[in-house]
């Protein structure tokens, strides 16, 4: 499981709720697990603050979990985000999605999406559920503990580390090029075509792949 916070939050509720539930509120494989949809919309739309809501998801490798485990994980996440606050001091909407396919298993995977109006309910003052410089370590610890306690797939486990990680929203031609180049490099290593960094650079250039920048930790190439 990983925790992902989205950048959205300055607009009205329609955009995020349409994404979570569908414009007609009948999105396939979407299920409200906790919270009030209408109250969430009202709090966001009436907010005087520049950033009106915080949203994100707990994204799982697994296809599904028991209802008990989902509720426990959601409760622990709320306690992680809102230390010292009671349940009646904040509003959070939880929506389950199960429509994205896990490329490794071929099954759909579980996502627990959350939307939090950025207002403390008892005072009407601004609430900031997540501020990365302060909260990131605590949220990362929540992720580690949750994965361990529930026996979930842990992306931080060295056995699960990906050799190739693509950025989100890459153009298809760039992604395909990176995937193919990765496969060619792996095969070249197996075939003994190079054994060190300088030989790798020479191999790239001999295959008409222009190296544009080198640092101690990386080699940059020109986009195809």
Report the catalytic residues. Answer: 19
Q: H or E segment at 80?
A: helix 67-81
Sheet with strand 93-101: strands edge to edge:
2-5, 53-59, 108-117, 93-101, 30-34
CA dihedral 212→213→218→220, nearest 10 degrees, is: -20
Instruction: Give one DSSP letter per residue of 102-134, joined into a string.
Output: -TTTSSEEEEEEEEEESB-TTT--B--S--HHH
**Residue 26 DSSP code:** -
166 and 175 Cβ atoms separated by less than 8 Å? yes
Dist CA 76 CA 145 (whole Å): 10
- Which are the contacts of 21, defined by CB distance < 8 A and separation ≥ 6? 27, 30, 32, 37, 95
Q: Are 211 and 217 in contact (CB under 8 A)?
A: no
Q: CA 113 to CA 106: how far, in whole Å?
A: 21
């Amino acid at each position: 499981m990983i925790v992902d916070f989205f950048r959205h939050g300055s607009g009205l509720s329609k955009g995020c709720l349409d994404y979570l539930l569908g414009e007609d509120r009948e999105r396939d494989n979407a299920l409200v697990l906790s919270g009030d949809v209408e109250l969430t919309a009202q709090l966001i739309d009436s907010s005087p603050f520049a950033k009106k809501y915080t949203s994100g998801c707990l994204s799982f490798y697994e296809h599904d979990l028991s209802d008990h485990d989902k509720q426990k994980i959601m409760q622990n996440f709320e306690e992680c985000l809102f230390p010292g606050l009671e349940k009646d001091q904040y509003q959070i909407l939880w929506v389950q999605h199960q429509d994205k396919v896990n490329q490794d298993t071929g099954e759909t995977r579980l996502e627990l999406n959350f939307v939090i109006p950025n207002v403390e309910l008892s005072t009407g003052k601004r609430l900031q559920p997540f501020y990365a410089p302060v909260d990131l370590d605590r949220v990362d610890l929540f992720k580690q503990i949750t994965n361990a306690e529930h026996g979930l797939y842990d992306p931080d486990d060295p056995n699960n580390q990906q050799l190739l990680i693509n950025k989100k929203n890459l153009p298809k031609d760039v992604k395909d090029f990176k995937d193919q180049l990765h496969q060619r490099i792996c095969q070249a290593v197996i075939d003994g075509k190079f054994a060190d960094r300088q030989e790798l650079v020479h191999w790239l250039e001999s295959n008409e792949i222009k190296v544009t920048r080198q640092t101690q930790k990386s080699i940059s190439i020109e986009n195809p």
